Amino acid sequence: MSQEKIIKVLVVDDHQLIIDGLKSLLQDEPDIVFAGGANSMQEAIDFVSNNPVQVVLADISMPEGSGIETTRSLKEIQPDIQILALTMHEDINMIRKMVEAGASGYILKRTNMNEVLEAIRIVAKGEKYLGRDVQEILLNNMSQSATPSELTVGQSVLTQREKEILILIANEMQNDEIAE
């Protein structure tokens, strides 16, 4: 495989077990290289300052700070870097803030390994990725945002596009296929 197609990934998590597990997962992939691990936001900033990477797979809740500010800092250092949040946070506001800060993707730690690999490959191409669980959280939030008093009998809570997306998700289509 040519050097241009190799995806260099930095894993950021305050739990070494997560870093080691992801390193093990990535080492068998021909197109992805584990570039390094960082146990703190500052280590991540220092690493990216000295080592070009395409994707940062980062926990957004670390003892010394927020992934939101770190995402902004990493994007300042290396504007074309892709930040993929890997977190336990299912809060809609956290998802929104990470995307606003420049994250290219958001997946939950409970996701399977194949989805992690898929997400890395998609964001490495400059595309956006929301994990299947995250999509469900967003759709549930959208459907709950309309109150019953706002609806008339027979009126749908979802827009036509939201209905189309739900059908595509139910048919197990990939994010890039849904985007088309």
Does pLDDT of 37 surpass 60? Answer: yes
Tokens of 33: 């290289």
Decide if 25 is inside a domain. yes
pTM of the model: 0.75
CA-CA distance, 16 to 38, in Å (whole number)? 9
At 95, which CATH number? 3.40.50.2300
pLDDT band (50, 70, 90) for residue 172: low
Q: How far is CA 42 from CA 6, 7, 11, 39, 69, in A?
A: 25, 22, 13, 9, 11
pLDDT for residue 153 = 47
**Rounded mean pLDDT of 68-86?**
94
pLDDT band (50, 70, 90) for residue 174: confident
Q: Which domain holds residue 51?
A: 3-131
Interval 14-33: pLDDT, tens: 999 999 999 999 999 999 99
Decide if 153 is inside a domain. no
**Which pairing describes strands 65-66 and 82-87: parallel, antiparallel, or unpaired?**
unpaired
Number of domains in the chain: 1
